[in-house]
Structure 1
Amino acid sequence: MPGTEERPPNDRRQRWTWRDTAFIAVVVLLGAGAARLTQDEGPAAIPGCESVQAARESEMVSITTIGGEDPGYNDPDYPWFSKSKAVAMREAVIEALPVDARREDPGFDFVFPAVRNFGEAGSTDTGEELTLGGSTTAHGDIARGDTRATISVDVREWIGAIPPCVEGSIDRREVRADGTVLDIYETKDAASPYAQDFVVAYVPGVSRVFASVTRFDGTSTQVLSTDELVDVALAPGFAVTEDVRSMTLCGILTVMEEDGVDWDVVSRLNAVLDDSWQSLGTSGVRLDRPLGSLSADGSGHGLCGDVVVTGPGAVANLQIVVTQNEFRMTGSGRIFPDGTLISRTEGSGTSSVTVARPSGETVVVRTVTRTTSPLVIEQLELIARSPGLEIVPS
């Protein structure tokens, strides 16, 4: 399948050291215009495609690379990508997943590595220039019930024309009102091993996103529907021209650790938050997703959630962090007999409550808004002090 790649090893030192190789020969399925036609009869029509080209053979191509050190996230050939952009794209994938999708490795999934730079490439038969490398791919395993699958997202800049439809490569093409083109492929034999569905989203003159879901258990159950996979491919944050968001509250409060947070803990804390919201008395206030939507923050030692809360004439982001990395926020504080410190900070745009326990666990609940917050500081404190909102119960 186009865009399918082997999962890179976790240890960067074990990854393929392609920059030390002067010449590499690989076999790829060439795009339109680069290979010989294999059928004399006209190809079958594809919904949404004005024309369809016949399927093509694979050919040998050569890749010429320039030796030297790997520039990592600072490759001058790809100024659109950076470490901050990688973090923003990871957050985009995670936020686009359905709220009931369980991430199997939440501390280390969907990490976008440095862009692969293969240098110049050409077909050994035609000498035609090819577009290889220039993209970054992230992987993550998710589950729904007993069904598991791997989600892969590949992002690259795209300034060329939208490629023509090729027989057998996609099931249909959709063109959105804003000009975005979606190529969709759905596995015909869903129960076959390594069954893969994918969506390719082209934003003309901007970027191409290849999002796929691959099942390995031989079941016919879909982990993501086609519409949900489209949501991933179209998630905000992938466009190479899009501004990178500033560091999130999670990134400020946590540091990298090796251990992850168990899914049972995530589920337990989410249930605590859902119960807290029900008892908060928030008539007329709505959430865009359950308050219990925490997920691992990428540090391996904390959880984060960010929901949009809306009330009459008011809207804000309600952000929650539960972390084992001790943190103290400035502001008025109260110390309880058990040593728990509660700090409150109120502002025109941001209000927050921090509950720091003697164990070092910290809960931060805050609202960020450009209007008026639908929640008052007392409600934020009630959420932060929810009984049982601890990774390791005291």
Structure 2
Amino acid sequence: MYDMASVTDPERDEPADEPTPSRTKRVWTYGLIAVSVIAVAVVIVGLLLPGPESELTTAPPSSSDVPSSAAAPTENRVVDEPFDPKAPIPGCDTVEVPDTGDGKITSSFTTGEPSYDNPRFPWFTGPKATAMSDALRQLLPAGAELQFATESQSLVFQPITDFGDPDPMGSTNAYGSVTNGDARGSLQVVVQKTSAKVPPCVAGQLDARRVLSDATVVDVHDTWQEINGVRTNRRSAYAYAGDGSWIQAIADDAYGDNKKQNSGKIPLAIDDLVRMAGDPGLRVSTAVPAGTPAPRDECLAYYGGADGPEVTREQAARLDRVLATIDFRDRRPPPLQISGSTNNGLCTTVPAAGSLPRLDISIAGGQSPPAQERPDPTSGERTSIRRLGDGTVISMSRSFYSTAPIDDPGAAQSEMSTTVIVTRPNGNQVAVVSRSSFAPALPPAELEEIALTPGLEL
């Protein structure tokens, strides 16, 4: 095995300090051995007021929202905008009186397997998700800007979660934060296929019913709701198309981590939402252009995990231009994206090709150098840390490990990885990881050259 301890350059380097062990290396290790998640916890919110808004709308869970085990249902006090149950609704011949319930929300947790290519939902595939996502982003009005965020929070339609229902009516959800002048909030679009008829008009659940030129029915609603005393303004357009598409476009004025802040102004107008919900590009029967790829996976940043400064779209674009100057042997990494594990780092992956292994690249600011820990002879990993003359710290490690599915131990796969992490004195950190299960990982010197590329800093 390659001995990382033997890699030194005595003419320009000096031994780095050896700080005490910390959680930093453990974080890197967890990132390196992460595998795809096969089940997702979903927060199912059922309003006691009936109607499509309560039946179909779910907020996208964040990693901090998902419990480690099933939790008992919780109750929150809800106050809706008052309405006249006897008032006529434009576009509705009759109006039904709602079941008022007791004004509470009941939440519970369940699990299912998400997929882009589940035969139980033949209309939905990875390329279909990309086509719908592209169409949705093009429907944002002039002046509205999608916040730079992770792939799952950038109006990318997510896999359908299959809960095993006898009559599958799975839905796909696209979510993003949007600004428009001084208005700031979120947009959520939900698409599903159903054989159900257009629901009746129910007082308090829509302000008007519109019929588009192609006979698509769209219900619009502009309202507010208070949960535990916190008011959120919300407007929506629910479209029922002739091909069985039910499309919801919902905007509100909530933003920030877990939507805990409110701007007081919704960034999208009712007509914007009607245009989205009624657009043919989001319908289940719309054909996908040939050659459309599936959505790319979220990448993970391989660094210490400190809360560094937020990164911007402009910084990512500049760093993409720097990456374009690097020789990846006829390969080209896709544009940098915000890491799925943090909002403060960028990452991308150079795909494997032929005998060349995959390269994972991540960049972040505000980081500390990795700690030198006592070698573990049973870990299969060798690490060395050294310091350059300008104070830059370079960590190099090489490891070999094997993973296997829990239900099929015989399907074990071995993987070799080489990791180089360059930490500048200003806290900028670049990590380059060579990973392969079929070819030798790239030598540390080649990874170091990539990580030390001039300009590869936030």
Query: Of 312, 316, 320, which residue of structure 2 is paired with 1:262?
Result: 312
Does 1:78 find its partner at 2:78? Answer: no
User: Following the alignment from structure 2 to structure 1, what is the Cα–Cα distance between the partners of residues 85 and 233?
Assistant: 28
Q: Name the counterpart of 1:383.
A: none
Quick one: structure 1 residues 207 and 47, their matched pair in 2 at CA, closer, same or farther if it must change by over 3 Å?
A: same
Deviations 1:82-133 (A, max 9, x none): 1111111111211111242222135523222222333448xxxxxxxxx885
Does 1:226 find its partner at 2:274? Answer: no
User: Following the alignment from structure 2 to structure 1, what is the Cα–Cα distance between the partners of residues 273 and 242?
Assistant: 20
- Name whichever of 112-121 and 179-188 sits farther off: 112-121
Quick one: structure 1 residues 204 and 58, their matched pair in 2 at CA, closer, same or farther if it must change by over 3 Å?
A: farther
- Partner SS for 1:54: coil
Query: Of 132, 136, 151, which residue of structure 1 is paired with 2:172?
Result: 136
User: Following the alignment from structure 1 to structure 2, what is the Cα–Cα distance between the partners of residues 97 and 115?
Assistant: 24
Does 1:113 find its partner at 2:158? Answer: yes
Quick one: structure 1 residues 255 and 140, their matched pair in 2 at CA, closer, same or farther if it must change by over 3 Å?
A: closer
Given that 2:116 and 2:124 are in contact with CA atoms closer than 8 Å, whether structure 1 keeps it comes out as: yes
Matching residue's letter, 1:246: A
- Partner SS for 1:232: helix
Between the aligned residues of both structures, percent identity stands at 27
Q: Name the counterpart of 2:388.
A: none
Does 1:169 find its partner at 2:214? Answer: no
User: Following the alignment from structure 1 to structure 2, what is the Cα–Cα distance between the partners of residues 92 and 47?
Assistant: 30
Q: Name the counterpart of 1:180.
A: 216
Q: Name the counterpart of 1:239.
A: 283
Given that 1:147 and 1:223 are in contact with CA atoms closer than 8 Å, whether structure 2 keeps it comes out as: yes
Matching residue's letter, 1:6: A
User: Following the alignment from structure 2 to structure 1, what is the Cα–Cα distance between the partners of residues 69 and 291?
Assistant: 31
Which of 1 and 2 has greater Rg? 2
Quick one: structure 1 residues 56 and 262, their matched pair in 2 at CA, closer, same or farther if it must change by over 3 Å?
A: same
Gaps of 5+ in 2: 1-52, 76-83, 105-109, 255-260, 302-309, 319-333, 339-347, 352-454
Given that 1:142 and 1:151 are in contact with CA atoms closer than 8 Å, whether structure 2 keeps it comes out as: yes
User: Following the alignment from structure 1 to structure 2, what is the Cα–Cα distance between the partners of residues 222 and 256?
Assistant: 28
Deviations 1:50-97 (A, max 9, x none): 11111114599xxxxx99x83622222211111111111111211111
Count of aligned positions:
251
Matching residue's letter, 2:144: A
TM-score (norm 2): 0.45
Quick one: structure 1 residues 164 and 79, their matched pair in 2 at CA, closer, same or farther if it must change by over 3 Å?
A: same
- Structure 1 residue 17 displacement after superposition: 9.3
Q: Name the counterpart of 2:248.
A: 210
Deviations 1:30-52 (A, max 9, x none): xxxxxxxxxxx973211100111
1:1-394 correspondence to structure 2 within 5 Å: 1-2=53-54, 3-9=56-62, 43-58=86-101, 70=113, 72-108=115-151, 109=153, 110-120=155-165, 134-187=170-223, 193-216=231-254, 217-247=261-291, 257=299, 262-264=312-314, 300=337
User: Following the alignment from structure 1 to structure 2, what is the Cα–Cα distance between the partners of residues 241 and 156?
Assistant: 11
- Partner SS for 1:166: coil
Quick one: structure 1 residues 145 and 25, their matched pair in 2 at CA, closer, same or farther if it must change by over 3 Å?
A: closer
- Structure 1 residue 213 displacement after superposition: 0.5
- Partner SS for 1:184: strand
User: Following the alignment from structure 2 to structure 1, what is the Cα–Cα distance between the partners of residues 206 and 68?
Assistant: 30
Coordinate RMSD, CA, aligned: 4.8
- Structure 1 residue 215 displacement after superposition: 0.6
- Partner SS for 1:70: strand
Matching residue's letter, 1:77: R
Given that 1:181 and 1:202 are in contact with CA atoms closer than 8 Å, whether structure 2 keeps it comes out as: yes
Given that 2:60 and 2:175 are in contact with CA atoms closer than 8 Å, whether structure 1 keeps it comes out as: yes
